[in-house]
Amino acid sequence: MFSGASILIIDDEQDIRLSLRGILEDEGWRVSEASCGEDGLEMLCGGDFDLVFLDIWMPGMDGMETLRALREKGVDIPVIMISGHGNIETAVTALKGGAFDFIEKPLSLDSILAAAAKALEFSWLKRENKALRSRIGSGISPVITGSSPQIVKLRELIGQVGLSDAWVLITGENGTGKEVAARCIHLAGKRGQREMVCVNCAAIPEELIESELFGHEKGAFTGADKTRKGKFELANQSTLFLDEIGDMSLKTQAKILRILQEQRFERVGGTKTIHVDVRVIAATNKDLGQEILAGRFRQDLFYRLNVFPLSVPPLRERAQDIPELIGFFSARMVEDHNLRPVRLTSKALDVLKTYAWPGNVRELKNFVERIFILYPGQEVDAAMLPPEYRARTVNGGSDPLEELTDFKEARARFEERFLRRSLARSDGNISRLAETIGLERTYLYRKLKAYGISVDEGRGE
């Protein structure tokens, strides 16, 4: 039970530490040691532990002082106090000071395991509850919004792979929602009660990525003033999301491959082998097949990661989801920022469906925020949209008139688009528009009426 739990023993007696270590490691738990309160405090502040065994009577900083210092620093994990001079008064003082439990020497196997099991259960429930509250409170509960066939199929695949423990490789352009897909997979599985650990491989300098992934020992390099756990270790019993894995160097890829194969590693500057149980979800915006041919990505690593491939489609290929996505992001703006709702007309939505969205869903989210700033509480028509969203089309800006074969229809389509854009540039000023394009005002009014163009469409930019 609680396989992989990390426990720290703080005791000045080496025999006690060795005895406790043996008992705890036999249960499959990872054990670290400190011989004094000062060292234990430093390790706790720099590490991630589930439980502490702390001796009360030690030279220098004794157990009670260490416990008090821990609580003052905000370290809130269960502490089991141990003492060879136990009495009721000491036990009560320890429990009032924030200890989880109190056991006496000589230590018995049953008392150690019973106390540890209770404390670890408390620790893990508390951590899971905190992670759940964090997800709910921050609104991070992941949602893949849309009803297009591509998204319906994607949700179906996520549901299937989420129930397994298989590794997943997610591909897709920047901004399509690869991390959201990863979170959905993680939460659907048995590891979902623990927080997913994320690493943006493209954002970490090459000289720091090994320390970031594998951790380091104190003194491993200049500036390593304390031991630090890496992302693999922090993701034990959970999911590690390796975003933009295609940006890793070949050297780091080789080390990642070894860890994925063996589920064990050493921290930078360390010799102790650390075993982990980690599910890996990787993502990239690159064509890894082409990267392999170019010699920039290891083929064996690709096959190791690509157990279950998932592709997240770009927004331009699922334009029918745009109104639903806008509704989703608009509701978030209203709820999170207490803003007045903004409504887009059907014409505005039609225009947005033809836009290429090179930044995908991330760009759409930013667009919604921009509209809420520009037009608080208003109805937004097509002419009120920022100009770049009216100009660029899904096919990269090619002229839709090319699809027409009838001359009269093509001329009418051109005239309508020309008049709408010219009216917007003139801010709805008919006199200025007539002068700019060289038409009499009376004739211009007839044209605008024929194409159903309102003068108000040119105002508000």
- Over its length of 461 residues, how does the chain's per-residue pLDDT go in tens digits? 566 789 999 999 999 999 999 999 988 899 999 999 999 998 988 778 899 999 998 988 999 999 999 888 888 889 999 987 766 777 788 888 889 898 988 888 888 998 998 888 777 756 654 554 454 444 445 678 899 999 999 999 999 999 899 999 999 999 999 999 999 999 988 899 899 999 998 888 888 888 899 999 888 887 788 888 999 999 999 999 999 999 999 998 998 898 888 889 989 888 889 999 999 999 999 999 999 999 999 999 999 999 999 999 999 999 999 999 998 898 888 877 877 788 899 999 999 999 989 889 999 999 999 999 999 888 899 989 988 887 655 554 444 445 555 676 677 777 877 888 788 777 678 888 888 888 888 888 888 877 777 766 555 43
Pinpoint the alpha helices (H) of 73-108. 88-96
> Does one domain contain both 355 and 248?
no
In a domain, 460, yes or no: no
Phi and psi angles of residue 227, each rounded to the nearest 5 degrees, phi first: -65, 140
Domain co-membership, 284 together with 204: yes
User: Within a 10 A sphere around the Cβ of 265, how many other Cβ atoms?
Assistant: 22
Same domain, 56 and 126: yes
Q: Is residue 153 part of a domain?
A: no
Q: What is the largest CA-CA distance in the chain?
A: 104
Q: Tell me what pLDDT residue 207 has.
A: 83
**461 occurs within a structural domain:** no
Do both 195 and 306 map to the same domain?
A: yes
In a domain, 225, yes or no: yes
Cα distance between residue 48 and residue 77, in whole Å: 10
Tell me the CATH number at 38: 3.40.50.2300
Residue 270 belongs to domain with CATH number: 3.40.50.300
CATH of the domain at 333: 1.10.8.60
Structure tokens given for 362: 């991330």
Same domain, 332 and 273: no
250 and 226 within one domain: yes
pLDDT at 409: 66
Residue 303 lies in a domain: yes
Please check whether residue 145 lies inside any domain of the structure.
Answer: no
Q: Are residues 304 and 321 in the same domain?
A: no
The Cα angle at residue 20 between residues 237 and 45, in degrees rounded to 5: 55
Cα 134 to chain centroid, rounded: 13
Q: What is the count of structural domains for the chain?
A: 4
Distance CA 361, CA 457 (A): 27
**Residue 342 to residue 304: CA distance in whole angstroms:** 47
- Which of 180, 173, 249 lies closest to 210, judged by CA? 249
CA nearest neighbour of 229 among 2, 17, 44, 10: 44
- 8 Å CB contact between 384 and 349: no
DSSP 126-190: HHHHHHHHHHHHTT--------SHHHHHHHHHHHHHHTS---EEEE--TTS-HHHHHHHHHHHST
Contact between 202 and 247 (Cβ < 8 Å): yes
Does the residue 295 lie in any domain? Answer: yes
Provide the residue range defining the domain that includes 411.
Answer: 407-451
283 & 366 share domain: no
Residue 132 and residue 15 share a domain: yes
Looking at the structure, tell me whether residues 12 and 132 fall in a common domain. yes
Q: Please indicate, yes or no, whether residues 84 and 40 belong to a single structural domain of this protein.
A: yes
Question: Of 296, 311, 326, which residue sits at a domain end?
Answer: 311
In a domain, 141, yes or no: no
Sheet containing strand 101-104, edge to edge, reads: 30-34, 6-10, 51-55, 79-83, 101-104
Q: 276, 296, 311: which is the final residue of a domain?
A: 311
* Residue 297 sits in the same domain as residue 357: no
Q: Domain with 417 in it: what CATH number?
A: 1.10.10
